[in-house]
């Protein structure tokens, strides 16, 4: 009797295990990695090289048509994604805001212009997050072009005012970027990034990507200071030029640049040989709204408009926004809203942007950090509680959760990937890419990604057949971090989504990139 009961117990256990296995198989049709032995061996060999093996690698490759997992390694571990973060930000904007959204920038006043051309109030330039108040040519094609003047939009706005008869401004020239909260930098950004273009401060009033272009040329004779040309508004910073010209053949040049946080002075030092072809840098503007107010006042005066007031800014500080929120809750949100308390400003000049899809293309093609941060705040402003980092991240989390990505698979602190506190798994990246392909905007989204060997940040990578032109991927790079994720078509014609993330490596940037590219080549050549 005991043997019969024991036999029945074992049979029931086996039946439960079998049913659980069958249920699990039904939920997850992914192939095991060993089903693709050739690809497994190829990637394992690449990653076995001693200097490569010291890094922390995560890879996930999934067939788009079947959902079969072709290769995986640490796919559920968390990695610093660098600019692969932009894949998540731009997908959310496509899905929640839409590709046809347009930004509006206006010049407004609460006063009126009389018959003599006198404005009896402040003149206010109001920014609403347009990333492309610059000379950039849109739509982006193959590479960045800047044919127009960097401040052309401000020039056009000033010209509109003059055409309407403006001659005198009794008040101040105000640059208003309060549409988004005044949070110029993200959590986890490195201090030494903030001087440069990739760490430019975020503002709802963004002019020329919030940078100044600096051209450096050797002087005519050795021993003289090099020539510096700063555009578009050289008066904004105090320039201390200590770069000396050295005799021909004494290269290479050595140039150093320093600006302390909050400082309005930039110091240049070093040396440049007389036969040097010259160098160029893009340096971040400390306060974009302050820059705009001063520049716009000067543009008006150049056009004969007399301005009696001073240039100043209007920000929405995070603390004041929180205070307002508490006050609103306490009062039940039922305060007076009569027109005498909220007068409607008179719009004197305006500019409308190109469709949002054009900028999403710029963001992913060239990995534009500032524009990605503006998109994060746009999400918060349009779909969340505020145009702030927290507001945008809350909307982003909701979007990703609705896309089927588990909350424990990602942690974001910014929209660009400049923060080292961001974390994401390769599986989450691939899950996002799969989700995007199923959406009406999926093709537009894929088209924003650089094409291997053709354009953007992949222009000079994966340049040979069969990978050239068949891989659309987003690059990512920080110190000791490299990434590439996107879509590829294998030699057998199968479309795959892939993510390759590497952290904590001590490779040169070139070796890290070459290693990732070798893996992509194997995915294309050996993937099912």
Task: Give residue-wise pLDDT tens across range 51-88.
Answer: 999 999 999 999 999 999 999 999 999 999 999 999 99
Examine the pLDDT at 145 and tell me if it is beyond 90.
Answer: yes
Q: How does 488-514 read in b/e, with b if 16+ C-beta sit within 10 Å?
A: bbbeeebebbbbbbbbebebeeeebbe
pLDDT value of residue 89: 98
CA–CA distance, 243 with 240 (Å, rounded to integer): 9
pLDDT value of residue 341: 61
Backbone angles phi, psi at 165, to 5 degrees: 95, 10
Structure tokens given for 213: 């272009």
Q: How many CA atoms lie less than 13 Å away from 316 in the CB half-sphere?
A: 21
With contact defined as beta carbons under 8 Å apart, do 481 and 82 qualify? yes
Sheet architecture: strand order including 168-169: 118-119, 168-169, 306-307
CA distances from 314 to 175, 299, 311, 322, 523 (A): 6, 19, 11, 17, 52
Average pLDDT over residues 153-177: 98
Examine the pLDDT at 32 and tell me if it is beyond 80.
Answer: no
The model's confidence at residue 526, banded by pLDDT at 50, 70 and 90, is confident
Structure tokens given for 527: 């993937």
pLDDT value of residue 35: 59
Structure tokens given for 250: 């004494």
Q: How does 411-434 read in b/e, with b if 16+ C-beta sit within 10 Å?
A: ebbbbbbbbbebbbbbbbbbbbbb
Residue-wise pLDDT tens digits, 183-220: 999 999 998 889 999 999 999 999 999 999 999 999 99
Tokens 């559920």 locate to: 76
- DSSP E strands, 159-203: 168-169, 173-181
CA–CA distance, 376 with 419 (Å, rounded to integer): 14
Residue-wise pLDDT tens digits, 258-278: 988 888 899 999 999 999 999
Helices 369-383 & 356-366, crossing angle to 10 degrees?
A: 140
The model's confidence at residue 14, banded by pLDDT at 50, 70 and 90, is very low
CA triple 433-378-425, angle to 5 deg:
30
Average pLDDT over residues 491-516: 97
Q: Of the given ranges (171-175, 237-241, 336-340, 393-397), which has the lowest mean pLDDT? A: 336-340
* For the chain, percent of residues with pLDDT exceeding 70: 89
CA–CA distance, 3 with 91 (Å, rounded to integer): 61
Q: Which residues contact 64 (CB under 8 A, 6 or more apart)?
A: 434, 437, 487, 495, 496, 497
Relative to beta strand 311-316, strand 173-181 is parallel
Structure tokens given for 26: 């039904």
> CA 152, 155, 160, 161: dihedral to nearest 10 degrees?
150
Residue-wise pLDDT tens digits, 247-256: 999 989 999 9
DSSP annotation of 354: P
Residue-wise pLDDT tens digits, 333-362: 443 333 446 789 999 999 999 999 999 999
Q: How many CA atoms lie less than 13 Å away from 113 in the CB half-sphere?
A: 18
Q: Is 29 helix (H, G, I), strand (E, B) or coil?
A: coil
pLDDT value of residue 483: 98
Q: Is 62 helix (H, G, I), strand (E, B) or coil?
A: strand
pLDDT value of residue 136: 94
The model's confidence at residue 379, banded by pLDDT at 50, 70 and 90, is very high
- DSSP E strands, 274-353: 279-284, 306-307, 311-316, 346-352
Question: Which of 29-33, 35-39, 456-460 tops mean pLDDT?
Answer: 456-460
CA–CA distance, 13 with 43 (Å, rounded to integer): 39
With contact defined as beta carbons under 8 Å apart, do 386 and 181 qualify? yes
């Amino acid at each position: 009797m005991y043997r019969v009961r024991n036999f029945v117990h074992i049979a029931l256990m086996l039946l439960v295990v079998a049913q659980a296995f069958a249920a699990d198989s039904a939920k997850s049709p992914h192939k095991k990695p060993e089903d693709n032995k050739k690809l497994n061996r190829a990637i394992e060999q690449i990653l076995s090289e001693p200097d490569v093996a010291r890094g922390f690698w995560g890879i996930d490759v999934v067939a788009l048509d079947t959902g079969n997992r072709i290769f995986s390694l640490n796919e559920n571990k968390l990695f610093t994604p660098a600019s692969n973060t932009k894949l998540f930000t731009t997908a959310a904007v496509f899905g929640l805001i839409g590709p046809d959204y347009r930004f509006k920038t206006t010049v407004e006043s609460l006063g009126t212009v009389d018959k003599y051309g006198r404005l009896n109030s402040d003149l206010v330039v109001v920014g609403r997050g347009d990333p492309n108040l610059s000379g950039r040519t849109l739509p982006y094609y193959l590479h960045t072009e800047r044919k127009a003047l960097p401040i052309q939009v401000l020039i056009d706005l000033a010209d509109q005012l003059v055409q309407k008869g403006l001659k005198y401004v009794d008040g101040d020239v105000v640059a208003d970027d309060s549409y988004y909260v005044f949070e110029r930098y993200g959590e986890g950004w490195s201090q030494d990034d903030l001087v440069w273009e990739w760490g430019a401060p975020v503002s709802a009033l963004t002019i020329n990507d919030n940078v100044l272009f600096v051209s450096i040329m050797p002087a005519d004779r050795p021993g003289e200071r090099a020539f510096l040309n700063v555009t578009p508004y050289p008066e904004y910073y105090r320039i201390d030029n200590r770069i000396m010209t050295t005799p021909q053949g004494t290269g290479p040049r050595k140039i150093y640049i320093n600006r302390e946080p909050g400082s309005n002075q930039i110091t240049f030092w070093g040396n440049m040989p007389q036969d040097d072809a010259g160098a160029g840098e893009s340096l971040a503007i400390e306060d974009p709204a302050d820059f705009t107010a001063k520049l716009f006042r000067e543009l008006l005066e150049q056009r004969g408009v007399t301005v009696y007031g001073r240039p100043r800014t209007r920000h929405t500080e995070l603390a004041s926004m929180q205070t307002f929120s508490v006050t609103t809750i306490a009062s039940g949100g039922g305060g007076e809203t009569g027109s005498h308390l909220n007068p409607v400003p008179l719009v004197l000049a305006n500019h409308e942007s190109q469709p949002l899809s054009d900028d999403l293309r710029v963001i992913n093609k060239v990995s534009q950090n500032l524009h990605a941060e503006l998109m994060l705040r746009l999400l918060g402003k349009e779909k969340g509680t505020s145009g702030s980092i927290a507001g945008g991240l809350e909307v982003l989390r909701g979007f990703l959760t609705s896309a089927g990505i588990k909350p424990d698979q990602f942690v974001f602190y910014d929209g660009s990937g400049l923060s080292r506190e961001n974390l994401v798994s390769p599986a989450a990246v691939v899950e996002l890419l799969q989700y995007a392909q199923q959406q009406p905007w999926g093709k537009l989204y894929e088209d924003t990604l650089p094409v291997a060997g053709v354009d953007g940040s992949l222009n000079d990578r994966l340049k040979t057949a069969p990978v050239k032109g068949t891989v659309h991927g987003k690059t990512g790079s920080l110190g000791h971090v490299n990434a590439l994720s996107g879509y590829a078509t294998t030699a057998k014609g199968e479309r795959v989504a892939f993510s390759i993330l590497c952290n904590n490596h001590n490779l040169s940037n070139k070796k890290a990139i070459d290693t990732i590219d070798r893996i992509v080549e194997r995915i294309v050549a050996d993937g099912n």
